[in-house]
Structure 1
């Protein structure tokens, strides 16, 4: 098929690669404009999709909006069979959704109607969902309200947001190609009205660890914000990020619900940290301006003794 691809972050790159590998004709890649970044934010950094599309020889377009007549005329002139959308980041007006012969199909990283919206992967982890997946959705005007043609499932387990993002990108890429190979075999099915939840955009303030909640919830907070924006706590005025951690349900001392300490207390010389219920031990931490390191490396350069209240 003649495909217009629309995507921006790393999540979208495997979808683009798989479409090309399957022999589809990706005639243009739409992506968000380059953003300030690089050293001290002085360089304009192209999106992952722009970099990959250019490497594949695919023409790249990065309009600020698709609402204007010029942007819409340029898209219509491509005469695409279908639009494939994966985390593009711009709202598509109904006129754009209707332009391709088969409309626009979206790779959405949840099992709709659960977690419609901007941050479905993080919200699934934070909520303690046992299962998540991807939905190939026929796009409509509402927020992720369109009918679903195909879905693929996976367990959440102990995965980080980074782990799940990569896994769901691959699942979504394979599912999209499956649908495009025989689109009539996958008719759009309306989403049920019940069990709808919304995945609000992540606020960086949510990444500050609240030690008063249970260890299982703290663990989910750490995994949901790894690798970005990273869960963090403060000690001696310095912000310390935790990328991975283990729950301590038992050990030389009882770290259960009756452990006689306050939340946020350092329990031992390996940085076990009390929570409102149970405790966690970081595996990988990061100080400001430095790279991630193991808890042993971290404590050699930045000791935090037992009894410290974080």
Structure 2
């Protein structure tokens, strides 16, 4: 088929490769424009743009699509059979949704209608879901409301992280996109019950509240690492990023939540305890607990905080 591919982050790259390997003619790749990155803030092309250029595919990266009639005309002029969209980052106006002969197909990282919206991978882990998956959806004007074409589920276990789930769903998305174009399954309307929304995430979502249970904090760390990342605050206001932890839900204690229960980074929670296994100091890389403790011991009784003590009404 004659295709347009639209995507930006790493999540979309396997789908681009899968469609190309399946022999489809990809007449254009749309991606977000290069952005400043790194210490030097040099412009860096998106992962999808880099992958497309490596395959010799033409790339377009308009800043906006809304009220961009020139881009609408260019898109229509490609005379594509379909457009495949995966985490592109811009809303497609109706005129673009209608341009390809078979419309626009979206690779969405959830089992719709659960977790429509911006952060389906993180939201599914954070909520304690036992499964996630990929839905290929026929796009329409609503937010992830279009009819479903194919779905595939994967389990979420106690070891699942946002990174591992991202990688699994990314690979599945490419496989399902190829199948949809080959099999042309009939669309199925999304059920009206079970709709949930995955919000845009911010850095504040990663702030750890030690009054929560060890189980809840474990979910937050696994869901929000590496982005937006989880963190706690020391008594002097220093922020510690937390990369991984082991929940100890049966650990009994009477300590104030946030207190170190031993010299091995076991921290009291509202219920149970959490043993921190990967941490990062300001200006340093993420490190295992042993390496962290060699440079900064955290003896029994040390306090970690949700907010700096001087600014917290609760401490």
The TM-score bracket by the shorter chain reads: over 0.9
2:289 pairs with 1:273: no
1:239-250 equivalences in 2 (<5 Å): 239-250=239-250
CA distance in 2 between counterparts of 1:144 and 1:91 reads: 11
User: Which residue in the other structure is 2:297 paired with?
Assistant: 303
1:241-260 equivalences in 2 (<5 Å): 241-250=241-250, 255-256=251-252, 259-260=253-254
Could you list the runs of 5+ residues in structure 1 that have no partner in the other structure? none
User: Which residue in the other structure is 1:59 paired with?
Assistant: 58
User: Which residue in the other structure is 1:45 paired with?
Assistant: 44
User: Which residue in the other structure is 1:177 paired with?
Assistant: 178
1:229: how far off? 1.8
Could you list the runs of 5+ residues in structure 2 that have no partner in the other structure? 305-315
2:158 pairs with 1:164: no
CA distance in 2 between counterparts of 1:248 and 1:40 reads: 42
CA distance in 2 between counterparts of 1:208 and 1:249 reads: 20
2:256 pairs with 1:262: yes
8 A Cα contact 2:205 2:228, kept in partner = no
Of 272-281 and 31-40, more deviation after overlay is shown by 31-40
| TM-score for the superposition, normalised by structure 2 | 0.94
CA distance in 1 between counterparts of 2:186 and 2:65 reads: 28
8 A Cα contact 1:66 1:96, kept in partner = no
1:47-196 equivalences in 2 (<5 Å): 47-67=46-66, 68-157=68-157, 158-183=159-184, 186-196=185-195
1:285: how far off? 1.2
1:52: how far off? 0.7
8 A Cα contact 2:249 2:271, kept in partner = no
- SS where residue 187 of structure 2 aligns? coil
- SS where residue 302 of structure 2 aligns? coil
Give CA deviations for 1:142-162 in whole Å, capped at 9, x if unaligned. Answer: 000000000010011121111
Give CA deviations for 1:166-185 in whole Å, capped at 9, x if unaligned. Answer: 110001111111111121xx
CA distance in 2 between counterparts of 1:38 and 1:74 reads: 33
2:207 pairs with 1:208: yes
CA distance in 2 between counterparts of 1:29 and 1:283 reads: 41
- SS where residue 71 of structure 1 aligns? helix
1:40: how far off? 4.2
- SS where residue 269 of structure 1 aligns? coil
8 A Cα contact 1:8 1:31, kept in partner = yes
1:237: how far off? 2.3
CA distance in 2 between counterparts of 1:60 and 1:200 reads: 29
1:304: how far off? 1.0
Give CA deviations for 1:63-118 in whole Å, capped at 9, x if unaligned. Answer: 01223110001111110010000000000011100100000000000000100000
8 A Cα contact 1:85 1:107, kept in partner = yes
8 A Cα contact 2:202 2:228, kept in partner = no
| TM-score for the superposition, normalised by structure 1 | 0.95
- SS where residue 274 of structure 2 aligns? strand
After superposing on structure 2, the runs of 4+ consecutive aligned residues of structure 1 that deviate more than 3 Å are none
User: How many residues get paired?
Assistant: 301
Give CA deviations for 1:112-156 in whole Å, capped at 9, x if unaligned. Answer: 010000001111111100111010000010000000000010011
- SS where residue 39 of structure 1 aligns? coil
